[in-house]
Amino acid sequence: MDYHVQRTEDGETIGPQVILDKVLNALPDIVVITDGGIGTDSGPRIEFVNQAFGEFLGKHPQDIVGLPVSQFLKSYFGDATRTRFRTLITQGSPAQTRLVRTQDDGAKQYVEFHVVPILDPHGQLKHMIGVGRDVTQQCDALAKAVESEAYYRAIFDQSPHPVMIFSPAGEILSCNQAVLDRLGINMHELRKKSFAELVHPSDLQASFEHFKEAACGKTPAPLVARGRNRDGEYVEAAITDVPIVLDGKIVAVVAMMNDLTQLRRLEERLRLSANALANIAEAAVITTPDLSVISANRAFTSITGYMEAEFVGRSPLELWADDADQPSTEEVRLAIERDGYWQGETKNRRKSGETYPSLTAISAVRDQQDRITHFVGVFSDVSKFKAYEERLEHLAHHDSLTNLPNRAMFECHVNTAISRSKRNGKPFALMFLDLDQFKAVNDSLGHRAGDELLRSVAKRLSESLRGTDVVARLGGDEFGMLLGDLTSSTDAARVAEKVLTALSTPHLQPSYELFTSASVGLAIYPDDGEEPLTLLKNADAAMYLAKKEGRNTYRFFSADINAKAHEYLVLANNLRHALERNEFHLLFQPVVDLSTGRIIGAEALLRWTHPESGLVSPATFIPIAETTGLIGVIGEWVLYEACRQATQWQRLGHPPVRVAVNLSARQFREPGLVEKIEAVLAETGLAPQWLELEITETMMMENPERVKTILGELHARGISIAIDDFGTGYSSLSYLKAFPCDFVKIDRSFIDGVPKDQNDITITETVIGMAQRLGMRVIAEGIETSEQLEFLRRGGCEEGQGFLFSKPLPPGQIAKLLGQTHSLFPLTR
């Protein structure tokens, strides 16, 4: 077929070619036809281009027809296009390429070009037909699309939130990096995972439903479900499944996940904080920067009495009571500015009007710009602690038994009294009171009775004094009293008498009555001392004097007492050296058998010849030796000396007699007494039956069980025990029967009264009678007259001692007496 357009003078000829020509020119696509280029050097030439091609190139078709293809391409297309084209036509089969042409203004034009070679039966190229379509517009749109796709890809990939794309059937199509990071796997591994492997089993069903809804084109409300993370743990996420619809068709479902872990942690912390704040025992309020309450907790209501709603909008400062000691708001503000918080004690007022001490802490809450956004105030009611504190304070300064001030507190009171006296010039008195024989009550009736008596005494003392005076328990059975604003010492004497009278009425106990008396010493400020301790010491010394002078009485401190105290110190000091200086010696007072008048024993009595003072009475130095502890060594010396002397007499051929040794309380208290005595006996060679140990009732009552044991051991070794000064102490023979005693020595004070004083007669007779019934022998002390002797002999008293027979004598003279065979007194019977 000939495709050439045949022209006539009057225009185009209508024939098949013309029709074809018209068709080709009417086509919107470009059409070009070439020859086979056979027999030419320049290769195929353009035989035909249609109208559209001309328009595409901006040329008339006639200008193009006849051009060799290579030249045509060179003129209108770039190098890349030419190369592609050449490759294309050498293939010899239909091919497709894209032609790109750059216009004069630089804009690019794109043509999607199809080339069809037409070959003759010999395979020779006859023609090429090229059909192209200008796709410039589509290409531009595509380029734009590619560009925006890159944007969205970046958003998608770099989003910190995991995003996954599923097919509507549920296969994983794609996901962003956040998903892979969280799961700790790569895309390839993820694709192999099933839905069930990624979601918590309990949330699987709900997740499916959620996904299915999206897969059906709906956008369901976000779902909270737990997904697995790289460590295999499940973390909570809010999932939004969104369907992707293209051309009315659901092509995918995008699942966007919002990790809730951080949020949950934050929520948990907030919840905990809120919970803690709500439940703490302290009241907590949160205010705005201008102190308007926003919220308050439960404790706030229980402490202040205000409901939270009632107080919102009000200032917490309204809670502070009007009090001079209240910290100033300025002080609080400055502290908060400086330190960020303020803490201190405030006095607060409850809704009821009642005030209470409070420990308050206020701190400022600041934002990132350091501006105060809130204040938090926490306060507690510390009235209970205050009460505890006061109670502790009271306990520290008071005696728990009587609830009276203790010694420390009493000293404080004395200090105050001194200051007051200095101001008003009025003297005051310090009274020191010690109960008489209190130990006996404790020992015989028990500590409970002792405690009751102390309480009763405390009560009576308090009642005897004025409200401004002070009574304190200084310890044991000692009480201190402070009598203020005296006009004279007579006032103090009157109070002392009143106190003694108050104590003399029996103290009624549920099952018995207790009698007690006390010894009182008085010291006056400022005459008897200017310091609390001096005053106390002097009142104590005066009390000792009262004790010494018969008890149940009071004595004023005097310079004389002071002198005695001084003397005491000097004596105590000298006593320390008395043994080594050989200042001690023993005298022996004969003990006489009252029926025969013969000497049957001798009591060793210690004498101290002081280098300056001369002979010092044992009544003076024995108590000093006791308090200084020197009695231990002195007592041992006496024991050794007495035993040695007794053996000596025996060695001289005299009939053996009992030698009596006085023991002191202290010797009894110290361990090893029995062993010491045994050692002395062994060393001196005295048989135990010739040793008699004298102890007093008071010593026995000090620790009855221990004394009983020791006496038992001594007795078992054959040593005799005598109760000395009987009648001056506890005086209960029936009680003493529990002790292994051989002798009772009736005290001189009773013998003194016989045979005239009926009381002494009764006592003496009773003691003799009872002692005999208990199998003890009675020794009467201090027999000075023959009347006394007669009375005692008649009464059945077996033995006696006294000036009537002999004073205490040096050992040599005793030896002489031992040598005599006659009676030491004229025998009347």
The site for ligand C2E (CB under 6 A) is made up of 589, 604-606, 617-619, 622, 635, 638, 662-664, 694, 724-725, 748, 781-784, 801-803, 808
d(CA 253, CA 213): 10
Q: How far is the CB of 812 from ligand C2E (least distance, A)?
A: 18
Our CB check for ligand C2E shows the closer of 618 and 755 to be: 618
∠ Cα 354 358 363 (to 5°): 130
Stretch that binds Mg ion, among 287-295, 385-393, 543-551, 773-781 (CB under 5 A): 773-781
**Minimum CB–partner distance for residue 575 and ligand C2E (Å):** 13
**Rounded to an integer, what distance in angstroms lies between the CA atom of residue 317 and that of residue 312?**
13
Q: Which is nearer to ligand C2E, 252 or 638 (CB)?
A: 638
Nearer to ligand C2E, 491 or 784 (CB): 784
Give the residue with the Cβ less far from ligand C2E, 429 or 721: 721
d(CA 24, CA 65): 15
How many C-alpha atoms does 23 have within 13 Å on its Cβ side?
7
Strand partners, 361: 343, 378
- In SS3 terms, 523-558 reads as EEECCCCCCHHHHHHHHHHHHHHHHHCCCCCEEECC
Pair of tokens at residue 574: 């000298």
Q: Which is nearer to ligand C2E, 284 or 677 (CB)?
A: 677
In this structure, how many other beta carbons lie within 10 angstroms of the beta carbon of residue 373?
Answer: 11
For ligand C2E, the closer of residues 132 and 808 by Cβ is: 808
Residue 664 interacts with which of Mg ion, ligand C2E, none, CB < 5 to 8 Å by class: ligand C2E
Residue with Cβ nearer ligand C2E (50 or 589): 589
Sole window of 473-481, 519-527, 698-706, 718-726 interacting with Mg ion (rule: CB under 5 A): 718-726
Query: Smallest distance, Å, CB 522 to ligand C2E?
Result: 30
Angstrom distance (rounded) from CA 118 to CA 128: 6
- Compare residues 241 and 724 and give the one whose CB is closer to Mg ion: 724
Task: Let me know: does 697 contact 729? Beta carbons within 8 Å.
Answer: yes
- C-beta of 613: minimal distance to ligand C2E in Å? 15
The binder of 520, among ligand C2E, Mg ion, none, by C-beta within 5 to 8 A per type, is none
What are the backbone dihedrals phi and psi of residue 387, each rounded to the nearest 5 degrees, phi first? -65, -40
Tell me: does residue 694 bind Mg ion (CB under 5 A).
yes
First to last CA, the chain: 200
Q: Which of 381, 724, 798, 799 binds Mg ion (CB under 5 A)?
A: 724
- Quick one: what does residue 704 bind among Mg ion, ligand C2E, none, with the CB cut-off 5 to 8 Å set by partner type? none
Return the number of the residue (528 or 781) whose C-beta is nearest ligand C2E. Answer: 781
Q: Which does 686 bind (CB under 5 to 8 A by kind): Mg ion, ligand C2E, none?
A: none
> What does 348 bind: Mg ion, ligand C2E, none (CB cut-off 5 to 8 Å by kind)?
none
Least distance in angstroms from the C-beta of 745 to ligand C2E = 7
The site partner of 117 among ligand C2E, Mg ion, none (C-beta below 5 to 8 Å per kind) is: none
Give Cα separations from 313 to 134, 282, 294, 308 (angstroms). 76, 20, 6, 10
Which of 203, 259, 725, 799 binds Mg ion (CB under 5 A)? It is 725
Comparison of 200 and 748: residue with beta carbon closer to ligand C2E: 748
Nearer to Mg ion, 37 or 590 (CB): 590
3-state SS class at 48: strand
- What does the angle CA 137 – CA 141 – CA 144 come to, to the nearest 5 degrees? 140
Residue 803 near which of Mg ion, ligand C2E, none (CB within 5-8 Å, type-dependent):
ligand C2E
In the complex, the smallest distance separating the C-beta of residue 650 from Mg ion, rounded to whole angstroms, is 22
CB 379 within 8 Å of CB 346: yes
* Smaller CB separation from Mg ion, 641 or 781: 781
**Which of ligand C2E, Mg ion, none does residue 521 bind to, with CB < 5 to 8 Å depending on kind?**
none
Q: Which phi and psi (to 5°) does residue 224 adopt? A: -95, 120
Q: Which residues pair with 720 in a beta bridge?
A: 692
- Least Å distance, CB 630 to ligand C2E, is 11
Return d(Cα 279, Cα 494) in angstroms, integer. 64
User: How many residues belong to the site for Mg ion (CB under 5 A)?
Assistant: 5
Smallest separation (angstroms) from ligand C2E to the CB of 692: 11
By DSSP bridging, strand 777-780 and strand 799-800 are: parallel
Nearest-approach distance from CB 711 to ligand C2E, in angstroms: 16
Q: Which does 754 bind (CB under 5 to 8 A by kind): ligand C2E, Mg ion, none?
A: none
In the stretch 95-134, what mask flags binding to Mg ion with x, by CB under 5 A?
----------------------------------------
Smallest distance, ligand C2E to C-beta of residue 555, A: 23
Cβ atoms of 222 and 250 closer than 8 Å: no
* Secondary element (H or E) of residue 107: none
Contact 113, 132 (CB under 8 A): yes
Residues in the chain: 829
Nearer to ligand C2E, 516 or 589 (CB): 589
Report the nearest approach of ligand C2E to the CB of residue 638 (Å).
Answer: 4
760 counts as binding Mg ion under rule CB under 5 A = no
Tokens representing 563 are 């002198």
Among 662, 667, 788, 806, binds Mg ion (CB under 5 A): 662
Residue 527 vs 626, nearer CB to ligand C2E: 626
Compare residues 411 and 781 and give the one whose CB is closer to Mg ion.
781
List the one residue out of 317, 314, 339, 316 whose CA is nearest residue 326. 317
Give which of ligand C2E, Mg ion, none residue 802 binds (C-beta under 5 to 8 Å, depending on kind): ligand C2E
CB of 561 to ligand C2E, least distance (A): 22
Nearer to Mg ion, 259 or 724 (CB): 724
Q: Is the peptide bond before 755 cis (omega within 30 degrees of 0)?
A: yes
> By the 8 A CB rule, do 529 and 427 touch?
no
CB of 695: closest distance to ligand C2E in angstroms?
9
Q: How far is the CB of 385 from ligand C2E (least distance, A)?
A: 57
Q: How far is CA 498 from the centre of its chain?
A: 50
- The span from the CA of 390 to the CA of 412, in Å, is 17
In the complex, the smallest distance separating the C-beta of residue 407 from ligand C2E, rounded to whole angstroms, is 32
Taking the C-alpha atoms of residue 242 and residue 245, their distance in angstroms, rounded to an integer, is 10
Query: How many other C-beta atoms can be found within 10 angstroms of the C-beta atom of residue 685?
Result: 12
Burial (CB count within 10 angstroms: exposed 0-12, middle 13-18, buried 19+), residue 336: middle
Contact 713, 742 (CB under 8 A): no
- Return the number of the residue (162 or 800) whose C-beta is nearest ligand C2E: 800
Sheet with 283-287, edge to edge strand ranges: 293-296, 283-287, 372-381, 355-366, 341-349
Residue range at the interface with Mg ion (CB under 5 A); choices 73-81, 121-129, 274-282, 779-787: 779-787
Residue 638, binding choice from Mg ion, ligand C2E, none, Cβ under 5 to 8 Å by partner class: ligand C2E
Q: Residue 686 CB, nearest distance to ligand C2E (Å)?
A: 16
Please give the structure tokens belonging to residue 228: 């697995």
- HEC string of 685-732 equals CCCHHHEEEEEEHHHHHHCHHHHHHHHHHHHHCCCEEEEEEECCCCCC
Give the DSSP letter of residue 405: B
Query: Can you tell me which residue has the tokens 């439903």?
Result: 209
- 628 burial type by CB count under 10 A (0-12 exposed, 13-18 middle, 19+ buried): middle
Residue 618 binding target from ligand C2E, Mg ion, none, CB below 5 to 8 Å by type: ligand C2E
- Residue 199 interacts, among ligand C2E, Mg ion, none and using kind-specific CB cut-offs from 5 to 8 Å, with none
> Closest separation between CB of residue 801 and Mg ion, Å?
8
Q: Which helix (H) or strand (E) holds 787?
A: helix 786-795
Query: Rule CB under 5 A: which residues touch Mg ion?
Result: 662, 694, 724-725, 781
